[in-house]
Amino acid sequence: MSNILKVLSIVKAIIYPPSEANLYCNPSAASGLSISDSSSDDTIPVRVVSLDNYIAENQIKERLVMRIDVEGGELKVLQDAYKSLKKKQFEIVQFEALNEESFEKIRLFIESLQYDIYTVIDNKLKPVRSRVETKMITF
């Protein structure tokens, strides 16, 4: 990976197409916050953005690192970043797959964009072909 000169953490609700949504606050849920789990009456209205649109609108040209932890919505986030992924704008993308079926769909999508998937074991990159090999996955 190239030297990182600056780091900017951007926390956004990502959905395509961009719109307004309710962020549900549920302390008993895994993350406590969700746009899709409406089991809570506590809501906060939020503007959701398309990742590709956000990158274009903000004229982001640098190589990016993306961390995805969306409890099963990883493929949607990646599909929403299709243009940026195709242009190889992301240097690293880290995600977790909930199950083998989810991993396989993500793997097929990622490989269609000419990316490889790796895990880190003993501080070394190891190619991954199955979710069984690891939980935390990077490409």
pLDDT tens-place string over residues 7-18:
667 666 666 666
CA 119/CA 87 separation, integer angstroms: 23
User: What is the three-class DSSP state of 105?
Assistant: helix
Q: What is the pTM of this model?
A: 0.70
Decide if pLDDT at 86 tops 80. yes
pLDDT tens-place string over residues 8-46:
676 666 666 667 777 777 666 555 666 665 666 677 787
Give the model's confidence band at 5: pLDDT under 50 very low, under 70 low, under 90 confident, else very high.
Answer: low
**How big is the CA angle at 61 (ends 35 and 113), to the nearest 5 degrees?**
70
